[in-house]
Amino acid sequence: MLQFHAAAITAFCACTVQSVFARSKSTSSSKGAGTIRVVQRALERPIESKRRETGALLESIRQTEPFARFRKADNLDPFPPRSAVPRYDLHCHSTHSDGLLTPAAVVARAAARGVDFLALTDHDELSGLAEARCAASEAGIELVCGAELSVSWNDNTLHVVALGIDPENPRLIEGLDAIRIGRSARARRIGDALAAAGIEGAYEGAMKYVTSERLVSRTHFARYLVEAGYARETKDVFKRYLTRGNPGYVAHPWATLSQAVGWIHAAGGQAVIAHPGRYKINATGMRGLLAEFRDIGGDAIEVLSPSHTSAQYTEFATYSRVFELRGSCGSDWHGPGESWMDFGDLPEMPTGVVPVWKDW
């Protein structure tokens, strides 16, 4: 336990703090410098002092301007009890796509909340994995290299999570490059659609929230529309403006299901249907999707997801067994204040489901 705490503190020092405060505005620069001094002092003191100083570090991070909106929702305990059973969280996001924290800060938070195996799965993006791998090594947890690929299937947009990939694989890199080019074009069209509905400046507003020049998503539009007063929460923006049948929805052709699975397998990874309960697909359509996914070599489905109800945990556990697909789990964590399920909050995998990590 004490060894883990020291490693977690080192992770904050080596990887997290500089990357977090590099993105802060000038108004928070003095707080960033003060926090770095807190970590430096902590590394020179006994374990109990390190415990107190690391708590101060987390509080300092929460008090900086980029996280001001989310302070009340963030109840991070830096030293939770470790579970005897390994905890897996195989779906989350960082500032390299539409998350609120840097890869290192995401890893540090997951480690502090008791996660043992973490997959960083930024949308159509691999650029955050090197930073996350550094932080995971220092924190003493296992990083599973991942991504979340955008896919079109029967006029539906789906997400396929890639787990255990080689981030240097040229076939996967080329495929993701093509998807990101499509994202940029779609963002322009979303801005135009919202302007036609009377919401001017949405594209420019969304770009203020973009933390990676390589990727802009609907979540960035949602954050701007909350700021502009069109909705109270980002989930409300999706319901009112950004989903099919609403003013800001823009249809877009993504990769095919077979392309995504092929790229993932070429990179040595496993392909997982993300949050299947989120899609507006009836029971017949879901069976058709899972049968096709299985037949082209798909590996697993997310059984445990914050997008699912307790009843859907059971439903997708049954699908997992029937279609002989392994089960995965992930908090789909984007940041404090935007994700109701935090790291370490996932329930146990239902009985009878073969977990995607069985042969790791």
Least confident window among 4-8, 212-216, 311-315: 4-8
Q: For residue 75, what pLDDT is reported?
A: 55
**Where would I find the beta strands (DSSP E) of 81-227?**
88-89, 117-120, 142-153, 156-163
Handedness of CA 129, 134, 139, 140 (dihedral sign): positive
Mean residue pLDDT across the chain: 83
For the stretch 89-143, pLDDT in tens is 999 999 999 999 999 999 999 999 999 999 999 999 999 999 999 999 999 999 9
Residues 326 and 358 sit within 8 Å (Cβ to Cβ): yes
The C-alpha R_g of the chain, in whole angstroms, comes to: 20
Measured between alpha carbons, how far is 1 from 77 in angstroms, rounded to an integer?
Answer: 15
Least confident window among 39-53, 201-215, 296-310, 339-353: 39-53
pLDDT over 50 (residue 3): no
Q: Characterize the bridge pairing of strands 142-153 and 156-163.
A: antiparallel
pLDDT over 50 (residue 31): no
